[in-house]
Structure 1
Amino acid sequence: MTKGRVLVIGSNATRIEVQGGWRATGQYLNETVVPAMAIIEAGYDVVLATPDGTRPHLDPASDAVDHFGGDQDAYDRAKSFWAEHPAMTAVRTLRSVIDEGLDAYVGVFVPGGQAPVVDLMQDAETGKILRHFHDRAKPTALLCHGPMAVVSAMPKAAEFRAAMIAGDVEKARDLAKGWPYVGYRMTVFSASEEKVVEDQILQARMHFDMPSALTAAGGNVVTTDVDFAPNVIVDRELITGQNPRSDHPIAATFVAALDRSLVTA
């Protein structure tokens, strides 16, 4: 018997705005499958849903054994899980999940890759889902760039994002009023880690860094001094992981939170 259903919110974005144009982007393989596999192994069902109901596009930069600690077997298992497991192939729309009833879910997880910065950060249905889990103090986990999805829970998320792209931080702060995560401790992909991606992958500069955006929203953002060191922050129901190497730690922390919530339910 399953312990309950966990919603995984995926992104449909395939490109991201940068200074001077656009670059290809997507969701990260390890950040998606490592937590999903751990959740299923712990006895929960996983339901993957995206804004338009199609499978997330994987960032080619994530399709590498290096993101699995150089472990070829782990990489192969991850690839097989992504390609074949029904939890990853039977994708639903966020709207259908909402219409079915969010009370059917015991937790929610948002993986990273830069893609969530494009769509989930300003998606109204993502915002509705996150507010539901926040209001009921249900475990809410987000990894790497995934924490940017919490911006969607503010009343004017799209306007906030546009203000950050325009470099108008003061306007963004004003637009963030009513955000339910004000004062929460959280982490996200750091500015110095982003610079590595800008230099080595995008070969372009982003319009804003993630910690600055979440700080402008009202979050208490904590990142490591060492780039790509695992980091997981827990504050109330919110569980955030900083970077791809936080995949296993956030999975373990999230599963523990799900198990605790069953005991207290």
Structure 2
Amino acid sequence: MKKVLMILTSHAGMENTDSKTGVWLGEFTDPYYEFVDQGHTVVLASPAGGEPPVDPMSKLVEHITPSNRRFNDDPEAQRLFGNTLMLDTMVADAFDALFLPGGHGPLWDLARDLTSGKLILDFLSQGKPVGAVCHGPAALIKAAELQPGLLRGKRITAFTNTEESLVARIGNIPFKLESTLRELGADFQASTIPFSIHVETDGLLVTGQNPMSAGPAARAVIQLLGAAGEAGAIDPLP
């Protein structure tokens, strides 16, 4: 059994609109149950602690996933989600892997959060997998600020500029995630068809492109955890 730290956004506001954002629910529930069903323990944390905001759009019927329905009937998962721990109390030594779901919220808080950035670097330096999906890879920006060159040449993916345009939120966000990751030197990869499943694994770093990629990204992290168990360790990122 492994212990996985999942960091959720605490940010709900958007720019130039009254619409709200937060965690995209399926990007939490899909990975959560992937980990739990493999016998792993999941610990939830967020910058503000407590219950994180949920993007209202992720609760619409067209975006509901089987894991969302499972969550709605799971009092223990709801209790954990409603009482996330304070991010600044987390240490990488206590966990075997890190996973960061999206929703647009990370563009504001995790992209600038010092604790999150340090944790990512600590996990990687200890040879532990780091997974992120959709806007979750925004947290890599702070890590790359703390360790310049971290993303240079790394194959990663995230919510693309095209997908951002298609959901009509380009004018409501502080920056385009794909563009910023490219500026940091990442070898950015994307599926040719928007909103299709796409996951990239480069060493210890696993990234998923969009909500549909959340479960597959978690499964890729689980594969790395299995590899670490068999080999004893995974080479950390340089």
TM-based fold match above 0.5? yes
User: 2:99 maps to which residue?
Assistant: 109
Deviates more, 1:204-213 or 1:56-65: 204-213
Alpha-carbon spacing, 1:194–1:44, altered in 2? closer, same or farther (3 Å) = same
Q: Are 2:225 and 1:258 equivalent residues in the alignment?
A: yes
Alpha-carbon spacing, 1:222–1:22, altered in 2? closer, same or farther (3 Å) = farther
User: 1:8 maps to which residue?
Assistant: 6
- Alignment partners' CA distance in 2, 1:13 and 1:81: 24
- Alignment partners' CA distance in 2, 1:218 and 1:212: 10
Matched residue SS, 2:34: helix
Alpha-carbon spacing, 1:109–1:191, altered in 2? closer, same or farther (3 Å) = same
- Alignment partners' CA distance in 2, 1:82 and 1:140: 27
Q: Are 2:204 and 1:211 equivalent residues in the alignment?
A: no
Identity within the alignment, %? 30
User: How do 1:31-180 residues align onto structure 2 when only pairs under 5 Å count?
Assistant: 31-68=27-64, 74-81=67-74, 84-98=77-91, 102-155=92-145, 178-180=148-150
Matched residue SS, 1:14: coil
Q: 1:6·1:47 contact (CA, 8 Å) conserved in 2?
A: yes
Q: 1:112·1:145 contact (CA, 8 Å) conserved in 2?
A: yes
User: How do 1:219-258 residues align onto structure 2 when only pairs under 5 Å count?
Assistant: 219-258=186-225
Q: 2:20·2:56 contact (CA, 8 Å) conserved in 1?
A: no
Q: 1:137·1:236 contact (CA, 8 Å) conserved in 2?
A: no
Q: Are 2:19 and 1:29 equivalent residues in the alignment?
A: no
User: How do 1:174-193 residues align onto structure 2 when only pairs under 5 Å count?
Assistant: 178-193=148-163
Q: 2:157·2:188 contact (CA, 8 Å) conserved in 1?
A: yes
Alpha-carbon spacing, 1:40–1:83, altered in 2? closer, same or farther (3 Å) = closer
- The offset of 1:206, in angstroms, is 3.6
- Alignment partners' CA distance in 2, 1:215 and 1:191: 11
Gaps of 5+ in 1: 157-176
Q: Which amino acid aligns with 1:8?
A: M
- Alignment partners' CA distance in 2, 1:226 and 1:51: 34
- The offset of 1:64, in angstroms, is 2.8
Alpha-carbon spacing, 1:59–1:205, altered in 2? closer, same or farther (3 Å) = closer
- The offset of 1:89, in angstroms, is 3.6
Q: 2:132·2:206 contact (CA, 8 Å) conserved in 1?
A: yes
- Alignment partners' CA distance in 2, 1:75 and 1:23: 22
Where does structure 1 differ by over 6 angstroms across 4 or more consecutive aligned residues? Answer: none
Matched residue SS, 1:121: coil
Deviations 1:107-143 (A, max 9, x none): 0000011011110001000011000012122111000
- The offset of 1:4, in angstroms, is 2.1
- Alignment partners' CA distance in 1, 2:227 and 2:133: 20
Name the TM-score, length of structure 1 as normaliser.
0.81
Gaps of 5+ in 2: 233-238
- Alignment partners' CA distance in 2, 1:83 and 1:58: 18
Larger-gyration structure (1/2): 1
Higher helix share: 1
Q: Which amino acid aligns with 1:126?
A: S
- The offset of 1:58, in angstroms, is 0.5
User: 2:235 maps to which residue?
Assistant: none
Alpha-carbon spacing, 1:44–1:214, altered in 2? closer, same or farther (3 Å) = same
Q: 2:50·2:83 contact (CA, 8 Å) conserved in 1?
A: no
Equivalent pairs counted in the alignment come to 232
Alpha-carbon spacing, 1:81–1:152, altered in 2? closer, same or farther (3 Å) = farther
- The offset of 1:78, in angstroms, is 2.7
